[in-house]
Structure 1
């Protein structure tokens, strides 16, 4: 049953992350380089303190156009209200949250520390793996 599949089993472990003092243009370059639309911002102990998205970068560019002050650090533009999930959450719960909250990804946090990220694509992988497992099982007699 899909409820037995946990976020921990399908989350991405190796993430691009930023520190709050990372230069905004460097962060934007890394988003482009890795072809990702956002990344978590963590402190020196790995605690999640925010998220930086393409939208945050666009807002920074627009702001700099108005005030003629380009650049700054990630901390000035990141979102600090971040919805997270537990590594023990089941895939169905996360799927419901993706649809309800219109999110593409959730950081996975354990005891305040960022340990991964789960995306819509990861959930689809879990469902595919589950369906293939069911197809490989002999029919019950």
Structure 2
């Protein structure tokens, strides 16, 4: 009785290439960022207009300082009504998540998939030398895995 391999049956050269796929290969580079000091109402308008669920917040040097999501904005709406405070006086940094988990562009696809499972986060900013260079979501991983399955793994 031999050792079982639970990774599935790989197919030659194509499988070897699949093992080399990193975040850089499938991250989204065309991203919407928000700026420190930007009014929360502007952020909400952008999320709705662009049909996105959130985005990174950067300082004047382009360094990542947080991430804002629809949920963060909804929290602001709720607190605004509860505390009777005008939303116009609120900036993105008042509600953004400040302790942001990021990923390296050279992280392997399968390591990223595991990180999504472990941390239960929907998207990660991709940073290189403290600057954001892209965004990677669970959907990016799914699309890449489906493309690999069709070309590199036996069913």
State the TM-score, normalizing by the size of structure 1.
Answer: 0.90
8 Å contact from structure 1 (residues 5, 90) kept in 2 = yes
What per-residue deviation string (whole Å, max 9, x for no partner) do you get for residues 9-59 of structure 1? Answer: 000001111011111011001111111111100012211000011111111
State the TM-score, normalizing by the size of structure 2.
Answer: 0.82
Among candidates 135, 138, 145, match of residue 127 of structure 1: 145
Report the Cα distance in structure 2 between the residues aligned to 1:70 and 1:116, rounded to whole angstroms: 33
8 Å contact from structure 1 (residues 109, 116) kept in 2 = yes
Report the Cα distance in structure 2 between the residues aligned to 1:104 and 1:12, rounded to whole angstroms: 14
Report the Cα distance in structure 2 between the residues aligned to 1:9 and 1:52, rounded to whole angstroms: 25
Compute the displacement of 1:133 (Å): 2.8
Q: Which has the larger radius of gyration?
A: 2
1:139 is aligned to none
Compute the displacement of 1:103 (Å): 1.2
1:78 is aligned to 96
Secondary structure in structure 2 of the residue aligned to 1:4: coil
8 Å contact from structure 2 (residues 64, 131) kept in 1 = yes
What per-residue deviation string (whole Å, max 9, x for no partner) do you get for residues 65-110 of structure 1? Answer: 1221122110111110101000000010110011111111100001
Secondary structure in structure 1 of the residue aligned to 2:113: helix
Report the Cα distance in structure 2 between the residues aligned to 1:3 and 1:123, rounded to whole angstroms: 14
Secondary structure in structure 1 of the residue aligned to 2:47: helix
Question: Does residue 14 in structure 1 map to residue 40 in structure 2?
Answer: no
8 Å contact from structure 1 (residues 5, 126) kept in 2 = no
Runs of at least 5 residues in structure 1 that lack an aligned partner in the other structure: 136-141
2:66 is aligned to 50
8 Å contact from structure 2 (residues 58, 65) kept in 1 = yes
Runs of at least 5 residues in structure 2 that lack an aligned partner in the other structure: 1-14
8 Å contact from structure 2 (residues 36, 60) kept in 1 = no
Compute the displacement of 1:63 (Å): 1.3
